Chain A
Amino acid sequence: MTSLSILKGRTWVWPDDVNTDIIIPFRFKARTNDPVEMAKYAMYGFDPEFYKKVKPGDLFVAGKNFGGGSSREQAPVAIKYSNVAAVVAESFARIFYRNCFAIGLPALEVPGISKQVKQFDEIEVNLQDWSVKTRDGRVHSALKVPEFLRGLMREGGLVEYYKDHHGFPWETLENKAITR
């Protein structure tokens, strides 16, 4: 776990309101059930050749409302199977954000982050502290996430979690809701 808790990589910087149609168009995602095939169409709306340019361990930093629009889980799956290690954004669209935890793709909300990072900057995402260290050495805390969700992400998503626990992480919440 410790060795995987700090992700260092070069950054792809994306603007505000990158929707799931841009991340993977319907006509491709609705014609395969293979995540490796889905990754060939990652970020197709911006660059149909993105899959040739991305390198294992790369990171995403985006503006507000990353992943808006369609509920398609193929969007975070295409990013994960492009071997992008984590997605950091000013904010995420609701369903995309849930999907990231469900498939075990680290997703951190860090207000202001898109102004702190330039294309291909080397940055560090710390999954232990839930923070991002930019090139200038500054550490930016991500918005807090309930522990049951971080645990789900650490274990690799719902499939891995269910295999290990024969249940779902939120089942422990029943009748004792988390209150802010």
Chain B
Amino acid sequence: MPSLGPDMEAGTLVEWLVKPGDRVKRGDVVAVVDTQKGAIEVEIYQPGQIEKILVDLDTKVPVGTPLAELREEGERLPAAAAAPKPPTTPAVAPTAPPAGPAPVRMQAPAVAAAPMTAAGGRASPAARRLAEAQGVDLSTIAGSGPGGAIIYADVEQRIGKTVAVAGKRPAPSLNLAAMRTAIAVAMARSKREIPHYYLEHQVDVTACEQWLTQKNATRPPDNRLLIGALAVKAVALAARRFPAFNGFYRDNKFEPAPAVHVGIAITIRGGGLAAPALHDADQLPLDELMGRMRDLVQRMRAGRIRSSELSDPTITTSSLGERGVEALYGIIYPPQVAIVGFGKVMARPWVVDGAIGPRSIVTTTLSGDHRVTDGHAGALFLAEIGKLLQEPDKL
């Protein structure tokens, strides 16, 4: 049972998508577990063959419990458990193990909702849930996913009209009360253990706005960019240049992460919050980053997120968007060591080239972990984010 955050103690196995004998590859979704953060699609991190299922359906087991036995490629004996992570390393084992291959490849392409090899019919768990909730027979749908697997979008397309007309969606599997408990546990731990320091920097984002206006003018809504995508990219690039803000504090020491997986704080209607990872955000061209961010937000809000997305963030960003107030001081999500906040864009009188004029200003903030960095390094890091936002075409 993977740990999907410092707050998670147990999970309930609600669906197996593999059976003994099935071959799996890195990134395949093998099971669905129900947690405080909703139904999570559990991915596997080693290729091999499923040897034995160890946990039955609807069974609640503590974090760290092996879910299945996996025979690794080329091995004759069953290898270690298929549980994606050992119990002693909460929240982060799925991030690239030091000797592992390039982290870029750890994740199955995030384009499809859930590429998978399902036992007994090829459909993603999200698609199955939706179909079940809507009474749709999966065998009547042609899949557009990998290998013809039925993905969420296929089911959505089939029932799209009906759902819209009925004015309701499939009930999200999110339990907001449980989510609040999870937030409370994680944040209380953060305030207890992490000596935060806070920095603030006002950034002129007029160039970003102008660039976006120009880019978006000729694009259909589907392809438009939001300033939030620029912010995430800037944070990701800065995190790569300042590795002391990107990683995990565990066992009394800081471990920089080899990849930059930016956690995106996402509010959920009714009072929920989660910050799943946008994997390898520093490597993504803006259009792709935006597409993935939209997908991530939608899936998080619909309660269908993947295990690696919850456990992988190496740094978090939180943005107030167009409404709200000027500044946000985040609380670090352990075991991460930094969170960057973006306030609402404000029109402000600003001095540019010796003259005062109206500019669009965003207050950016950094909450840093004093066990790892100081205000001096934090200031350089936060200033770098501001600098990167001056040249949006280079993001």
Binding between chains A and B: no
Q: Which residues of A contact B (CB under 8 A)?
A: none
